[in-house]
Amino acid sequence: MSEPTKVPSTFLLGGEFTINRMGYGAMRITGEGIWGPPKDKEESLRVLKRALELGINFIDTADSYGPNVSEELIAEALYPYPKDLVIGTKGGLLRTGPNQWPINSSPEHLKEALQGSLERLKLETIDLYQLHRVDPEVPFAKSLEFLQDAQEQGLIKHVGLSEVTVEQIKQAQEYVKVASVQNMYSVDNRKWEPELTFCEENDIAFIPWYPLAGGNQQALEKLKSVGDKHQASVQQIALAWLLHRSPNILLIPGTSKVKHLEENYQAVNIKLSDEDFSDLDKLSSANISG
């Protein structure tokens, strides 16, 4: 059995912010279907406060979570914010009901969304503002021109993108310096492998969402097998694999429970051997696309 590979604990986001690579995704502190207030508001507030106590200094949210609810709770729980806390939010989705996410990345909507996020989060500048989706009904250049202008006005420090291809990242770089890419990615869902490679080559943070991807049965069995060796859960091993996979990966697992938050955070202490990593890596070879 080989020695575990040393895994860096931080990433320099946008060449400016030193981020602990285990962050927190604030989508789940809303109601069912990511709609309305949470069933247990006090527990949601405790989750946010406990995240900072654990050393988490990157929180990912969006105006569409609730809508508005997640951002409002972050400000209620944590404002005034610690100096090292980086809050990333997103704009570009509408909400018409529980689990409904129509896209609108028009400059007009993004202007309204950004202004709302600034007010709810009680900020003058968003550290990381991410385009939630490329809108097929709006020229990508129009969305990018808005982000460029908002950055020049000082409303945004760094710009991120979500669910984008390498070509779209390159197009965006003609307007702004892309600091982060947030695409679905996990040990058993590697569709966006080329985008991760591009991020590594260009010093861009890669933020995987849905880090377990539902888990096909083969993946769950292998994750459990590795987890048994480390006395860890399937979820913890899936997160640990991502931390080992690339130094550019920032994790944002979400939860509405303090206990689950603490369990997720323990993944930073799991040291996978080369054999562990290789065994898990084999799960997704068929899903890696060029």
Calculate mean pLDDT across residues 203-232: 87
In this model, does residue 287 exceed pLDDT 60? Answer: no
Whether the link from the prior residue into 67 is cis, omega within 30° of 0, is: yes
Per-residue pLDDT, 1? 43
Q: Which of 102, 54, 47 is nearest to 78 (CA)?
A: 47
- Domain 10-287 has what CATH class? alpha beta
Higher pLDDT, 289 or 138: 138
Four-point Cα dihedral 180, 29, 92, 104, nearest 10: 150
Per-residue pLDDT, 5? 62
Instruction: List the single range of 35-44, 189-198, 204-213, 251-260 with lowest mean pLDDT.
Output: 204-213
pLDDT band at 211 (very low <50, low <70, confident <90, very high): confident
pLDDT band at 288 (very low <50, low <70, confident <90, very high): very low
Per-residue pLDDT, 216? 73
pLDDT band at 231 (very low <50, low <70, confident <90, very high): very high
Q: Give per-residue pLDDT as tens, 267-282.
A: 999 999 999 999 898 8
In this model, does residue 290 exceed pLDDT 80? Answer: no
pLDDT band at 286 (very low <50, low <70, confident <90, very high): very low
Q: Give per-residue pLDDT as tens, 72-86.
A: 999 999 999 999 999
Q: Give per-residue pLDDT as tens, 173-183.
A: 999 999 999 99
Q: Answer yes or no: are the C-beta atoms of 239 and 269 closer than 8 Å.
A: no
Q: Give per-residue pLDDT as tens, 96-155.
A: 999 999 999 999 999 999 999 999 999 999 999 999 999 999 999 999 999 999 999 999
Per-residue pLDDT, 213? 58
Domain extent listing, the chain: 10-287
Radius of gyration for the chain, computed over Cα atoms and rounded to the nearest angstrom: 18
Distance CA 48, CA 58 (A): 11
Distance CA 240, CA 190 (A): 16
What are the residue numbers of the active site?
65
Token couple for 121: 């989060």
Burial class (CB in 10 A: 0-12, 13-18, 19+), 207: buried
Mean pLDDT rounded to a whole number for the chain? 94
Instruction: List the single range of 56-65, 126-135, 208-217 with lowest mean pLDDT.
Output: 208-217
Token couple for 1: 């059995």
Which pTM was predicted?
0.94
